[in-house]
Amino acid sequence: MINKKMEKAINEQINWELYSSYMYFSMAAHFDSINLKGCSGWMRIQAMEELTHVKRFYDFLTARGGRVIFSEIKAPPVKWKTPLEVFEETLKHEQHVTTRINGLYDLAVELKDHATGSFLKWFIDEQVEEEESVDGVIQSLKLNENNPGGMFIIDKELSQRAFVAPADVTI
């Protein structure tokens, strides 16, 4: 049985992961509106990855005898000035998610909840990859900030990203 304090914290994280997906879909819609299809596709994949995170937390919580409780999801922003601004906001968001995941891990340690601590290690590693990936896009955008042709190449490169559902996450 999962500790009620941990159950509450995981439910809050589930809601945050849903917000993350919602935000990334909003960013994708923004990119579609300015005809940056590669950037839009990249954000759609981010949104789908966040939904797989929801599923992981959901399954873990129910497997431990917890109850998933959904709460209201706030509306995300809908417009940005530049692609660089979108990706900088994405990095800031992912850094906040990292802080949240680390907080969950700290709570698991405090509660001596070894099963949750073990479960969270996947997310800790995932956040390193998330931040690195977004930072790579930011660096490319900064290098090409005054080069419209560079934006075209970056958008084309981002369109190559494909979503692959993790083998351990099933619907």
pLDDT digits (tens, 9 = 90+) for 35-46: 999 999 999 999
What pLDDT is recorded for position 171?
62
Q: Which CATH number is 4-158 given?
A: 1.20.1260.10
**Domains of the chain: which residue ranges?**
4-158
**34 contact partners, CB below 8 Å, separation of at least 6:** none
**pLDDT < 50 positions in the chain:** none
Alpha carbon 9 to its chain's center: 17
What pLDDT is recorded for position 49?
96
Q: How far apart are CA 130 and CA 92, in angstroms?
A: 11
What pLDDT is recorded for position 60?
98
